[in-house]
Structure 1
Amino acid sequence: MSLIVGARYMPKLQHQDLQTSAQQIARERGLDTDSKRKVYLPVIRAYRVGPELVAWADGKNLRELGIYRQTGCYIERIRRNGILANPDGDAVLQMGDDIALVGYPDAHARPRPELPQR
């Protein structure tokens, strides 16, 4: 419990902006759009399932959605109600799920308004 509380509040106590830090790390590793070098290692990013994605999914399972064809990324994990699971093709996304998408930087750079980044 204390680890969770520490991970949640420590950056605020240290006056760190995690989004700015993440962007700086991405620039340092050549993952930003202005980078001259191309990185071909997969990247994992977390997204929160919101109303736009639920409406787009319309009750379809992951197999029917074809997330890879739409985004170029795979859903590696789903966290629902604090439980981390490896999804199969029959999983259905629900409001508030956290999903981990794995893909190459170019795939993550594509605009996806229905997937707000965590």
Structure 2
Amino acid sequence: MKRALVGAFVAVTVATGGMLAGTGTALAQTPSSAADITVHTEDGRQVAAKLCNTWKDKNTFGVHCNTNRAYYAWAKCKNGQTTRGVVTNSDRWSYAYCTAIGSHLDYGKGKWAN
């Protein structure tokens, strides 16, 4: 019975996007509260976007917004360079990977594409 419950818990955790971490595994941060999110336009203006959530770990920044408007993840990396994720919409994730330019994440933002 205990094995069945543990198996069910793992299945539910994986199905809902949760993460289990063992010793030596980097822990991912949970999505930020939607009320805390700010999305930036191309010219740098901030737009309050309570419809968005972000995620990050030491290398990657991600954003998803519940809107048809196009957006993408943008990241400033520790080596001073920037990177961006794919332009997407409709509650899909965009991820900016600092590992793609040999660095770690300093900070990230969600930006409107148009």
Q: Structure 2 length as normaliser, TM-score?
A: 0.29
Task: Report the structure, 1 or 2, having the larger strand content.
Answer: 2
Task: Report the structure, 1 or 2, having the larger helix content.
Answer: 1
- Bigger relative CO (Cα 8 Å, ≥ 6 apart): 1
